[in-house]
Amino acid sequence: MAIIICGYGYVIIGVFIRDTLACILMLFGLTGLSALFSFMVFKDKNMWAGSPDLTLSVITGFFTATVIFYMFYVLIYYFDRMGAGE
């Protein structure tokens, strides 16, 4: 839960402080990934057989999306910094 709060908090604070298009696109990208992964977790065999656990699927989807988003964010950031020294 702390990863989700820190991940979204960093992007939302960046939108208000820096107010750049990149931060706004990062927020939309993270939200879209979270919705996609939440839907993928929610759409399992228990969706029709029993009662699906919506809260668990949303938390799992948001966690997965946040980890993958920041994994690529850090990867792109450091590859960009490696090429900037030339």
Tens digits of pLDDT across the chain (86 residues): 788 888 888 888 888 888 788 888 888 888 888 888 888 877 766 666 666 677 777 888 888 888 888 888 888 888 888 876 66
* Structural domain total, the chain: 1
Domain that holds residue 18: 2-84
Question: Could you tell me where the DSSP H helices lie in the chain?
Answer: 2-17, 21-42, 46-49, 54-84
Tokens of 51: 């009662």
- Find all residues with CB under 8 Å of 48, minimum gap 6, and list them: none
What gap in Å lies between CA 52 and CA 85, rounded to an integer?
51
Using DSSP's 3-state secondary structure scheme, residue 73 falls into helix
**pTM reported for the whole predicted model:** 0.72
pLDDT of residue 47: 60
